[in-house]
Homo-oligomer: A and B are copies of this chain.
């Protein structure tokens, strides 16, 4: 083991933060391909070019490593969405920017989406982590809707607001799954399609109305 450490260039001293990101990159890749149960710590360590004891020392058990992946991917996603916020624009452009950031993130991190959603949503204790993250997303969407409604002098009940936000988040997740399954699909086009569903609704679509991104 020591011989390997001294002879492998990837084992040179790196700041802890850099090494942790390498481990998380490797873990997201392996978890998304093998699934949580089949993934082995050996494969993750190999992929990261780091010894297995060091992976355990830095990030703990396989469960803890998976939760660390979940946290990193969900934080990145929330940052991407928050970075697109533009409170002074009209509601449709705000929704469009949020959706474009969300689908842009999923399109650029298909492995991350696989870990984040597909695997975490069905199995304890990850489902609880995911539900908390999803709750924050629902709150953000409900807040946006509430802000836009108040700006036009309207108000709807808290439950109605929450339910509409649940619907929009669910529709976006479903399209994100579709995007992750279609490597040839374009993230921006998927965001435009979602605008047609969420902004226009079936009523306007059936009347031949279509939504197009602003040209600016």
Contact = CB atoms under 8 A, between A and B. Distances in A.
B206 A204 contact: no
Given A170-B170, A171-B197, A198-B202, 20 more contacts: A92-B203, A95-B202, A118-B122, A120-B122, A121-B122, A122-B123, A145-B205, A152-B207, A152-B208, A166-B174, A167-B171, A167-B174, A167-B198, A168-B171, A168-B197, A169-B174, A170-B174, A173-B174, A199-B201, A204-B204
Interface stretch (A9-17, A44-52, A64-72, A188-196): A188-196
B173 A206 contact: no
A170 to B, nearest CB: 2
A172 B170 contact: yes
Interface of A: 35, 91-92, 95, 118-124, 127, 145, 148-149, 152, 154, 156, 160, 162-164, 166-175, 177-178, 190, 193-194, 196-208
